[in-house]
Amino acid sequence: MSIPFSDIQKQTNDLLGRDFYHLSQGSIDIKSTAPNGVNFTVKGKTGKDNSINASIESKYTDKASGLTLTQGWNNANSLDTKIELSELLTPGLKTELITSLVPNGNRNAKLNFYYQHSIVNTRLFFDLLKGPLTTADLTFNHDGFIVGGELGYDISSAKVNKYNVGLGYKNPLYSIGLTASNNLSVFSAAYYHKISPLVEAGAKATWDSVKSSNVNVEFATKYKLDSSSSIKAKISDSGLTALSYQQVLRPGVTLGLGASFDALKLSEPVHKLGFSLSFAA
């Protein structure tokens, strides 16, 4: 099946970014399902300024009609609603309306369309209250090769505000992705390799032609200890090293532990420890 433009480097980005719990000192999420099929999710996470970000979300799906309704409320007093309708008019087409409302504060509304085919994947996003702005992306997929682009347009000023392109190749064992983003000023190359059923590795190099002449490089690897636990490690040329450990304590309960260290500032208090705890029922 075809993949969207944002997923050209997804496997590498997931390996470099997911499960590194040093991003917050602690996080917890609880998921449950009511007898009528409504899913509930409660999340809490400490922020960089030691604040606590918390939210509660409910999600209901009517499989017969393809309608999904998600409603959330967080401690910033933001009321979030998402309405999704799958298989709209034709197979592979989905639409969603996302709204966010802070009483006596900010309001946001977005209308999005997704179309997925075996060869073509395209998306169209409308920010209804800003601009309005629209962003569209399109990829063509054939025999593992992917080529695509993204375009942003400000309707009120009739101007293109961003344009990006990408090229990739993907098969079950490895993938590569090349992108030029930020109006073709930031270039990145990503590589992912599933070395064995137990070991994964990936690397990404990024060059911002506007801000620096240097290329930033990151490398990550994951090792599956057994069916219920795994460890990950990553290191970048800036000296940042991160480690994480994930363990399924019992069905529905997962613990994550992580740490990050700055190898160039070992004597300074910049190192972090973190954890996450997830419950699902």
- Assign residue 99 the CATH number of its domain: 2.40.160.10
pTM: 0.86
Is 59 a residue whose pLDDT tops 70? yes
Is 24 a residue whose pLDDT tops 60? no
What is the rounded CA–CA span in Å between residue 265 and residue 281? 42
| Chain-centre distance for alpha carbon 170 | 19
Cα angle 63, 65, 71; round to 5? 75
Is 202 a residue whose pLDDT tops 90? yes
At residue 22, the pLDDT reads 59
Using the structure block, give the residue that is written with the tokens 């007898």. Answer: 35
Q: Give the chain's mean pLDDT.
A: 91
What is the rounded CA–CA span in Å between residue 214 and residue 269? 27
- Other beta carbons within 10 angstroms of residue 155's beta carbon come to 12
Phi and psi for 237 in degrees, rounded to 5?
-70, -10
Among 35, 81, 75, which Cα is nearest to 58's?
Answer: 81
At residue 255, the pLDDT reads 93
Is 126 a residue whose pLDDT tops 80? yes
What is the rounded CA–CA span in Å between residue 49 and residue 31? 26
pLDDT-above-70 percentage for the chain:
98
Say how many domains are in the chain: 1
pLDDT-above-90 percentage for the chain:
70
Structural domain boundaries, residue 120: 5-280
Q: List the beta bridge partners of residue 126.
A: 111, 134
Q: What pLDDT digit, counting tens, does each position of 231-279 carry? A: 999 999 988 899 999 999 999 999 999 988 887 777 777 788 888 899 9
